[in-house]
Structure 1
Amino acid sequence: MRLKKPYILMLEDDPDDRMITDSIASQLEVDIQFLYLTYSNELFSALESGEQPALIMLDYNSKPQNGLEILKKLKSNPAYRSIPVIVLGESASDPHIDECYQLGANSFILKPGTYDLTVHKIRTFLEYWFQVAEL
């Protein structure tokens, strides 16, 4: 896999979330590609087959391995440890969030319940990571 520009490796099985994310990235003219994965067991194969992503986004409830299991593997592997990892969750219980940060997540983002909030969060996320932060 050879991508022409920096990319986000995103473990997300919802096609609507993927479409919204692509649409907002296009509107913001962010110079980034998304490589979407549906199943957690695809993630390490994708990492091993190409350039490292600018960041990784994990769905907390991914299958067959959940986001925490993947996060542990990523952060215990020196080859991937420095890649920023953002965990996306559908519920924000303090123990889940704490565990993500203890395992090395760079951010935990609660998936919003409405379209407008989804657009706002994705826009804010992209602006921060690709216009403010240095990767």
Structure 2
Amino acid sequence: MTNPTLHVVFVDDDLDDQYLLMQAVKAIDCQVQMTFFDSGPAMLERMDVLLASPLPLLVMLDLNLPPSGGMAVLEHLKGHAQYKHIPVIIYTTSSSVQEIDEAYEIGADRFLVKPDTFTEAIHLMQAVCQEWSVKT
């Protein structure tokens, strides 16, 4: 197995969504290191450790997070000089135009609606890897 080319930090309190994404990554030809958090505060507490990774970092962030929601986490990341360069993909069940607009205004790099099937999850993660992985 080759070394990972991307470190994806996935923040979602739904364990089924975490599992689906983990299985999708295993099914594709992309070397990704995955780190999972079930809340924004848990991820933010570990940001210094995550930034120490030699791999490019990408955050996939659900909007429906306890306790304060994904938008607050996005605002924190994009409002902090040390973190604002990290790409953030909003990954949520919402397709609200208002939430999409707000996420992009705050600084989200992409807004993706969660897939309904394993095949859709595979295609989504292939697209993510293709766009954000380091080409060797």
TM range (shorter): 0.7 to 0.9
Q: Which runs of 5+ in 1 are unaligned?
A: none
SS at match of 1:78: coil
User: Shift in Å at residue 96 of structure 1?
Assistant: 0.5
Structure with the bigger RCO (C-alpha within 8 Å, sep 6+) is: 2
1-side partners of 2:118 and 2:91: how far apart? 16
- The residue aligned with 2:26 is 26
Deviations 1:51-88 (A, max 9, x none): 25611111011111211101111111000010001111
- The residue aligned with 1:80 is 83
Q: Count residues in correspondence.
A: 129
User: Shift in Å at residue 5 of structure 1?
Assistant: 6.6
Deviations 1:27-54 (A, max 9, x none): 3232221110011210111102342561
Q: Which amino acid aligns with 1:32?
A: V
Q: Are the equivalent residues in 2 in contact too, given 1:20–1:119 (CA < 8 A)?
A: no
1-side partners of 2:27 and 2:119: how far apart? 15
SS at match of 2:89: strand
Q: Which amino acid aligns with 2:46?
A: A
2:121 corresponds to 1:114: no
Q: Which amino acid aligns with 1:75?
A: K
1-side partners of 2:18 and 2:40: how far apart? 16
- The residue aligned with 1:36 is 36
* CA RMSD, Structure 1 to Structure 2 (Å): 2.2
- Deviating more after overlay: 109-118 vs 42-51: 109-118
Q: Which runs of 5+ in 2 are unaligned?
A: none
1-side partners of 2:106 and 2:71: how far apart? 8
Identity %: 27
Q: Which amino acid aligns with 2:67?
A: P
Match 2:108 to one of 105, 115, 123 = 105
TM-score, normalization: structure 2? Answer: 0.82
